[in-house]
DNA sequence: AAAAGAATGTGATGTAGGTCACGTAACCAA
DNA sequence: TTGGTTACGTGACCTACATCACATTCTTTT
């Protein structure tokens, strides 16, 4: 399936748009292809867009002073990714986004999103719903962080996204769970 | 200032409503008063409403099997609180909400929110913006959890909400930070 | 096919924070 | 005012996970 149809199906779950309206909506998205390892957003950048994943897998991550990486999100097909703090506040990126595998994405600028939200009530509805989903997921992850040890969190993650196990190197899973790769390695070899 | 004016001012920052529209909007909110210690949502409840705080302070928290409490959110005036997972998925509450001090709130049902979002594009806009704020804050807290030790998180929290220091007992601050009260106590006595 | 670079496994040792136990002070409620 | 509950402090000890160091794959690149 091509990009347009994937986006259309994704949107149709929450918003009702005519073919014409969707065509217009879609015309604001810019298709981009990236190779494995390529960077989409670097800390320090001006952030203008958010990215809808068509194929492949991205990661959104933070690097601290001691050069340790923490992964905020893996973005698989039909997921969205960006540095939303930077995007909404028009500040410099503190979050990086790059490609775990070759990836195709659709890029939507902040201004275009806001414009489309204003023009179509249904588009605004869609984005409210999407953010809501994200918010709920984020709260759940936070709770799991406070409440569960690494082992439980690891099992939770694999139960939720079994694809990750083969797709993503273990040290990135560790970076998502917020533990050292050594600890994770010991964990599942027992 | 009374409840209506507080809500109006809060909404006006992101949504444009005429006086009449706002009156209609406001008519869907039910004012409620609670005493310190009273419960608003208990785990297991059916959750129908979200709550906008006019005065006082609420906490939204989770209790695990070992009867340990983790606080997801303190809700101060002009903040919203509920068990959003339960509210949106129409499932039983897993999160509790209760009153840290006497509190006045405005209660809005899930159906009314959705109805108002449908009727007024501007209301939908407001709720998108609100959830967005929440999402960004939640991501930030998650990152701080992974990246910072308790001491830094404690200082971060007090810098962000200095009122909490006097308003909220220390063991609740500990429950928000996800540490034992003993550790927190040792921390700020050094 | 060789060389270089990632990714992973595993031991030894360090440490932040948890748990348990007990004491004191503050705050209600009758 | 007295007894009970809640908040807070502090010592002794324990544990999950981090860090460092080095060995062993597995993957690219040339």
Q: How confident is the model at residue A175 (pLDDT cuts 50, 70, 90)?
A: very high
Which long-range contacts does A143-152 make (Cβ < 8 Å, 24+ apart)? Answer: A143/B62, A143/B70, A143/B72, A145/A178, A145/B142, A145/B145, A145/B146, A145/B178, A146/B70, A146/B145, A146/B178, A147/B62, A147/B64, A147/B68, A147/B70, A150/A177, A150/A179, A150/A183, A150/A184, A150/A187, A151/A187
Mutate which: B66, B91, B133, B142, vs A, most A CBs within 10 A: B142
Question: Chain A residue closest to B175 (CA)?
Answer: A146
Predicted local distance difference test score (pLDDT) of residue B135: 98
What's CA B183's distance to the chain center, in Å? 26
Question: Chain A residue closest to B137 (CA)?
Answer: A85
Q: What's the CA gap between A77 and A79, in Å, rounded?
A: 5
CA B183 / C1′ D11 distance in Å: 13
Question: Region A115-125: what's the mean pLDDT?
Answer: 98
Instruction: Kindly tell me if the per-residue pLDDT of A67 is higher than 90.
Output: no
Residues with pLDDT less than 50, chain B: none
Q: Would you mind telling me the total number of residues written for chain A in this entry?
A: 190
Cβ within 7 A of any strand C atom: A 169-172, 181-182, 185-186, 189; B 66, 68, 149-151, 178-180, 182-183
Q: What's the CA gap between A92 and A62, in Å, rounded?
A: 13
Instruction: Kindly tell me if the per-residue pLDDT of A95 is higher than 80.
Output: yes
Q: Which residues of chain B does A131 touch, with a Cβ-Cβ cutoff of 8 Å?
A: 128, 131-132, 135
- Min distance A122 CA to chain B CA atoms (Å): 9
Predicted local distance difference test score (pLDDT) of residue A157: 96
Mutate which: B85, B93, B118, B135, vs A, most A CBs within 10 A: B135
Q: What's the CA gap between A96 and A106, in Å, rounded?
A: 17
Q: What global pTM score does this model have?
A: 0.95
């Amino acid at each position: 399936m091509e990009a347009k149809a994937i986006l259309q199906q994704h949107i149709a779950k929450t918003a009702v748009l005519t073919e014409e309206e969707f065509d217009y909506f879609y015309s604001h998205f810019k298709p981009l292809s990236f190779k494995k390892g390529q960077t989409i957003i670097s800390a320090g950048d001006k952030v203008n867009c958010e990215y809808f994943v068509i194929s492949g897998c991205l990661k959104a991550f933070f690097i601290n002073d001691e050069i340790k990486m923490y992964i905020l999100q893996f973005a698989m097909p039909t997921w969205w990714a960006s540095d939303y703090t930077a995007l909404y506040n028009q500040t410099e990126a503190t979050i990086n986004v790059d490609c775990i595998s070759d990836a195709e994405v659709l890029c939507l600028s902040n201004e275009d999103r806001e414009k489309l939200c204003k023009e179509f009530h249904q588009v605004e509805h869609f984005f409210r719903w999407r953010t809501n989903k994200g918010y709920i997921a984020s709260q759940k992850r936070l709770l799991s962080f406070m409440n569960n040890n690494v082992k439980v969190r690891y099992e939770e993650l694999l139960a939720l996204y079994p694809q990750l196990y083969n797709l993503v190197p273990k040290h990135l899973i560790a970076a998502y769970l917020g533990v050292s790769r050594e600890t994770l390695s010991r964990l599942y070899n027992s």
